[in-house]
Each structure stands twice: as C-alpha cells, then as structure tokens.
Amino acid sequence: MKFEGVINHKLPHVGTSIFAVMSAMANQYNAINLAQGFPDFDCSDELKDLVANAMKKGFNQYAPMPGLMALREQIALKTYELYSAQYHPETEITIVPGATLGIYAAINALIKENDEVIVLEPAYDSYIPSIELSGGKAIVYEMVYPDYRIDWDQIKKLINIRTKMIILNTPHNPSGSILSAEDMLKLEKLIHNTDVLVLSDEVYEHIIFDGFEHQSVARFPELAKRSIIVSSFGKTYHTTGWKMGYLLAPENLTEKIRRAYQFMAFAANTPVQHAYADILKRPDLYLTLGAFYQGKRDLFREGLKASRFKLLDCKGSYFQSVAYDQIADLSDVEMANHLTQEKGVAAIPVSAFYLRKTDHRVLRFCFAKTDETLNKALDILCKL
C-alpha cells in the first residue's frame, strides 16, 4: 500500500534516529549493545513493587495534567536540598512522559517561526528537529574538541535580536563533559539584559564523577529565572522504558509550556508517578548513583587501557567516548558498522550528534551495563 499524492514533510533531511539504527544492527548481528543508552540490568524490586501496589490500589486513571502533587512536592524538596533553589510544586514543576517530550514541549511552546536557538554540538539528536518543527532555526556551535570546551566569546558572536534560546546539556551526552560554575557565570553575564531563555538538559544530574558537583542552572538565581530544566527518572532509577521526566521553570514559563504540553500527552503514567513519589523519599538512592556508575566507568576505562583506543575525558553521564585513529582509517560511521557487524560490539558514531556530521573519528560507548557485559566487550575491543 502506498499513498500516490504529494506528501509535505517538515523534516525532509531527518532519518531514523542513530540510536534505533545501531540497536537494530546490534540485534541483527547479535552484537553486545554498548550503543543505545540504557542499562542491561533491572531496576530495583522495591520500585517495581511500588508500581504494582499503586495499580492494586486503583491508581489507574488519568493523573492531573501537571502531574501527581505528591511527586511534584518531592521534586521540590529534592531540588531545594540539592541546589538551594525553590520551585513551587503547583506552578513551577510539571511531570512529563519522558525528558525528550519535555524538551519538545518546551521548545514548541516558546519558540516560534524564525526564532533562533543556539545548539552546542555534539548534541542529543532531538534538539534540532524539535526546533525545526516549531518553525525556529538552529544556530549550531561546535564545542572545542577533544575536551568539548565552550568558548563563550564565540557564543557571544552568535547572539542577536532573533536569539530566543540556548540549549545546555550537563553532564553531556555524548562526550561525558560537564559545565563548571565558571561556565554558568559566564553564560549568566552573557545573556544579562537579553530575552534569551535557557533550556538546560540535566537528565544525568546524579551521574557525575571524581568529586565534582553538578552545576545545575537552578544554583544560579539569575539563570534560573529564565531557564527550563529538564530531568529524567529513567536515568536515575534504571527505568528508561517507563518514560518519565519533569520540567522545572518559573511560573510564567511553566504556564506557557503546559498550554502546549496538554495537547501532546495531557498526563503521564499514574501508577509510576505514585511509585516515584515514594522512592524519592530515599535520597540515598540518587545520592549514591554517581559512585555506582563511577565504578563502571573505571572498570571500562581501565580495561580499555590495554587497547589502541584513545580515551577521552569522562566526568559525568554513562558514556565513554574514544578516538580510534590508531586502529583504522575509517569514518566513524564505517567504524561503528564494522565493530557491530564484524567484531560484535555496537557503538554510536559521534558524527551523528552534529548537524554537519563533523567526524573526529570518535565513537561513544555506553557503560551502563553489567560488569559481565563490559568485560565481554573489553575482551573484543582490546584485540583490535
């Protein structure tokens, strides 16, 4: 069956997400999937029991559109305790079915035709399509390789009267870099006395290493009053398939985002919200997450020292980027395909995170896997 008429497409240059492509390839070739960013281990039995109990208690109908109040209250408490920032649970916190939808809702509510949004690349692949679907224009800035540093003087040159938003991501996917307090203060100074908003993707906020602290925009009052923060329960509780996140934003921004969001999903999963509201009462679970993943990062990095891959810095997230120029003279797409199809380990080519497909010959591996999985992959990678 095929439609024979003219089809108008808002994203003519966009294909299937690289994450779906590489995971499908990993399945096809029975490769170890270090490509897509999800754990291959289960969430806690406690959390599963909390969801089941909520279902048994009859919490199976629509939640309020902004989210269950008990959950929003716990998020407000957590945010204050971590960042000394107060967000009102009624008017400044919104529960959404996944951080990606939250990003889409915020962009489409606040960006209109011909507005410009600065995107720092490499960037998560939903940002630019969301901007284009809103009618806006992405203005890309490529961070300085290999440490993925931001030259704020160059960002300053991109800002003009059409600039309506800048998108941050810290800890950063795919590079594993983090933004410092100095970065945040430079950004704060840069956009002072402008109408520029900040969309801060902080879904890996609890996965940060080596004694560093997460520098949420919530810590900086002048930034917070013009920022939308996006976070994710899936990354924190090993439940990426449950698709649950939340937005923090000042009341006047939240009101506009909710007006758009209500026609995208209306409400997020009710029993899962009840479960997260209960599990958030145990801060030890998210406060120890960084140490848990640092153990996996260290295992993976230590194992790769016996290989010919060059390790790039990783201060946060659950991704390790590596350069392979000492191994093969292939593009990163060719190298990722070769590793998956011929060697049995799937990775993501980092050029997929650039609008212009900039290729530094770097691959991204996900180390949110069991030690057994990581050791099997390391055995293969160290023989290349």
Domain ranges of the chain: 18-43+287-381, 62-282
Position 12 pLDDT exceeds 90:
no
DSSP 351: G
pLDDT tier for residue 7 given thresholds of 50, 70 and 90: confident
Q: Judge contact between 269 and 241, C-beta under 8 A.
A: no
CA 118 to chain centre: 17
Which residues are within 8 A (CB) of 283 and not within 5 positions of it... i.e. 6 or more apart?
A: 78, 81
Which residues are within 8 A (CB) of 179 and not within 5 positions of it... i.e. 6 or more apart?
A: 150, 168, 170, 172, 215
Torsion angle, CA of 300/142/194/81, rounded to 10 degrees?
A: 0
pLDDT of residue 200: 98
Pairing relation of β-strands 245-248 and 345-346? Answer: unpaired
Position 6 pLDDT exceeds 90:
no
pLDDT of residue 236: 98
Whole-angstrom CA distances from 253 to 65, 101, 167, 190, 303 are 16, 16, 15, 21, 46
CA 355 to chain centre: 17
Question: CA-to-CA distance for 349 and 118, rounded, in angstroms?
Answer: 23
Please give the mean pLDDT across all residues of the chain.
97
pLDDT of residue 316: 98
Position 190 pLDDT exceeds 90:
yes
Q: Which three-class secondary structure state does DSSP give residue 105?
A: helix
Mean pLDDT of 328-350: 98
| 140 beta partners | 119
- Asked: is 62-282 a CATH 3.40.640.10 domain? The reply is yes
Pick the CATH number of 18-43+287-381 from 3.40.640.10, 3.90.1170.50, 3.40.50.970, 3.90.1150.10: 3.90.1150.10
What's this model's pTM, rounded to 2 decimal places? 0.97
Mean pLDDT of 231-238: 98
Whole-angstrom CA distances from 79 to 186, 191, 287, 336 are 23, 24, 13, 39
Lowest mean pLDDT among 11-20, 55-64, 157-166, 258-267: 11-20
pLDDT of residue 152: 98
Mean pLDDT of 303-313: 97
Whole-angstrom CA distances from 129 to 16, 98, 105, 239 are 12, 17, 12, 25
pLDDT tier for residue 15 given thresholds of 50, 70 and 90: confident
pLDDT of residue 8: 84
Mean pLDDT of 74-97: 98
pLDDT of residue 10: 86
Mean pLDDT of 105-126: 97
Position 213 pLDDT exceeds 90:
yes
| 232 beta partners | 245
Torsion angle, CA of 148/152/153/155, rounded to 10 degrees?
A: 90
pLDDT of residue 114: 94
pLDDT of residue 9: 83
pLDDT tier for residue 73 given thresholds of 50, 70 and 90: very high
